[in-house]
Amino acid sequence: MKVFATRVIPPNGLELLERAGISVTQWTEKRALSAEELIAHCRQYDALLLASDNPIDRPFLEQCRHLKVVALLSVGYNHVDVAAANELGVPVTNTPGVLSAATADTAFLLMLSAARKAFYQHKRILRGDWNFSEPTANLGMDLEGKTLGIWGLGNIGYVMAHRCVSAFNMKVIYHNRGHNEAAEKKLGAVKVSFDELLAQSDVLSVHTALTPETADTFDMAAFKRMKPSAIFINTARGAIHNEPDLTAAIEQGIIWGAGLDVTNPEPMHPDNPLLNMPTVAVLPHIGSATVETRNAMSVMAAKNILAAFNGQPLPNQVTS
């Protein structure tokens, strides 16, 4: 059995596959594979370990129906046509749970960085703009006791809320389809309408999946319903916010600032005005990028591949 991996895979998952006698070919070039190249490679392999954002769309699936599994090295699967995969009988798996803490830590880092203008203060030093102290200049904002609004209180949102309650005694409100009873009991989280979430959050952190329903939700109309002192955090998917509207909302003081681990498009262009705004912190989609987490994700993906090769139920199959 042979696996094709679209990037170099963290060692723990790779070892697991190799110890099971599976040969893994990794794409090591420092450029993205084109759709045609991906299909051409996959034709020669039994499984795909997808560690890039190449779309797994109907044309791909129609030409690669022989794959025993497409194992994603991500929890998000907005780049996969799951309905087509189900119809064509190509199982798809993801890596839920193991990256929740690392991704929540990234949201927390962005929240604190935007609140204290940390990335901007760093740039001030680099450009020689740290000459004397000014008691009224470059001030950030406190987070103690503020209201954290979570949109999509699943695993990652729960850890973010837990961090914020423990560190800053923040009040947690959330908007979800269902109730998160654990968050309500343990963190005192209160479910609110989407309008209330917008109106009451001092920090609004997005932890929902990208779907046709959630795309472009945070546009100018939404920012206008938020507090002028609010911080918008997105570690989920960039297409959930409208980036020109976010830029204008911060420029015009409609909201205070933002922390983004995901942008639209990715990669963000280095000339993007958001990168020079004092109250904005941007990271290059590194939510799950710790040694421990990436290794855990690779082990999960490897176990899904082993199960597929052994004809066993797939531990993390995505079905809708």
Binding positions for ligand DGY, rule: CB under 6 A: 74-76, 99, 287-288
Q: Which residues contact 172 (CB under 8 A, 6 or more apart)?
A: 147, 148, 150, 161, 164, 165, 183, 187, 188, 189, 190
At residue 231, the 3 state secondary structure works out as strand
Report the alpha-carbon distance of residue 16 to residue 2 in Å, rounded. 14
Q: Are 172 and 145 in contact (CB under 8 A)?
A: no
Residue closer to ligand DGY by CB (options 173, 262) is 262
Q: Is 7 exposed, middle or buried (0-12, 13-18, 19+ CB in 10 A)?
A: middle
Residue closer to ligand DGY by CB (options 242, 316) is 316
Min CB(288)–ligand DGY separation in Å: 5
**E strands, 157-299, in order:** 171-175, 190-191, 203-206, 231-234, 257-260, 280-282
Min CB(304)–ligand DGY separation in Å: 14
Min CB(5)–ligand DGY separation in Å: 15
Distances (CA, A) of 200 to 172, 190, 193, 256: 10, 12, 10, 14
Report the alpha-carbon distance of residue 314 to residue 15 in Å, rounded. 19
Residue closer to ligand DGY by CB (options 170, 318) is 318
Min CB(70)–ligand DGY separation in Å: 15
Token readout for 37 is 């190249």
Min CB(297)–ligand DGY separation in Å: 7
What's the length of the chain?
320
Residue closer to ligand DGY by CB (options 102, 148) is 102
Residue closer to ligand DGY by CB (options 21, 267) is 267
Distances (CA, A) of 30 to 6, 25, 35, 148, 198: 11, 15, 16, 39, 41
Q: Are 77 and 94 in contact (CB under 8 A)?
A: yes
Active-site positions read 237, 266, 285
Residue closer to ligand DGY by CB (options 147, 235) is 235
